[in-house]
């Protein structure tokens, strides 16, 4: 996991991405959406297609809430996109 400060103009931020080795042998860069994550060097992740428009070469997203990737905590809207459980009342 590393941050990628190489956005296309006019955007600027430290985007969270990870290098992933696929079962087919390819090595790709995948974007980690949401606030905060728990990924470490040998974490197993599920990725889906979908590029990040302002990051050149990033064509995949990690799926939150599956395998070693935790869901985003304290998420109340769009929870299914971030693997967040329904909050207790």
Domain boundaries defined on the chain: 1-89
What's the confidence (pLDDT) of residue 48?
96
User: Which pLDDT score is estimated for 31?
Assistant: 94
Q: pLDDT tens digits for 15-49? A: 899 999 999 999 999 999 999 999 999 999 999 99
User: 1-89 domain in CATH 1.10.600.10?
Assistant: no
User: Can you list the pairs that 38-45 forms with residues at least 24 positions away whose Cβ atoms lie under 8 Å?
Assistant: 38/68, 38/69, 38/70, 39/1, 39/68, 39/69, 40/1, 41/1, 43/67, 43/68, 43/69, 44/68, 45/18, 45/20, 45/69
pTM above 0.75, yes or no: yes
């Amino acid at each position: 996991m590393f941050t990628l400060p190489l956005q296309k103009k006019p955007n600027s931020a430290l985007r969270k991405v990870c290098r992933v080795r696929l079962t087919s042998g390819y090595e790709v860069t995948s974007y980690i959406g949401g606030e905060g994550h728990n990924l470490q060097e040998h974490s197993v992740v599920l990725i889906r297609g979908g590029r990040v428009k302002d990051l050149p070469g990033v064509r995949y997203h990690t799926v939150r809430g599956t395998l070693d990737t935790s869901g985003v905590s304290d998420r109340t809207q769009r929870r299914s996109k971030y693997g967040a459980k329904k909050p207790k009342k």
